[in-house]
Amino acid sequence: MATMIREDKYILYVGTEEYVLPVQELLSGLEPWPEKFRALLPASREWTARTVYGSSGREAAERAMEYLTLYSCPSTQLNQAKPF
């Protein structure tokens, strides 16, 4: 059985930097997640790749923003995403 995921994009502002963050929702599938939503943060020089989970898309985005607030820098790969 395949895994079905829906993806939304959130725009986060950390300081003067704007990030476009994809947040995924697990709709169905065999792969268990700790919570229904996840945000995938790509690796950079300052941190390794990280997955942040939440019970809602907003909660996952807020947890990702907290993490970015601690470790963000202008060279992060999230800045290379296209804004909508």
First to last CA, the chain: 32
- Per-residue pLDDT band at 84 (split at 50, 70, 90): very low
Q: Taking 80 as the threshold, does the pLDDT of residue 39 lie above it?
A: yes
Which pLDDT belongs to residue 37? 96
Q: Taking 90 as the threshold, does the pLDDT of residue 49 lie above it?
A: no
Query: What percent of the chain clears pLDDT 90, i.e. is strictly above it?
Result: 37
Under 8 Å between Cβ of 35 and 55? yes
Give the start-to-end residue ranges of the domains of the chain: 4-80
Q: Taking 70 as the threshold, does the pLDDT of residue 31 lie above it?
A: yes
80 is written with which tokens? 């290379």
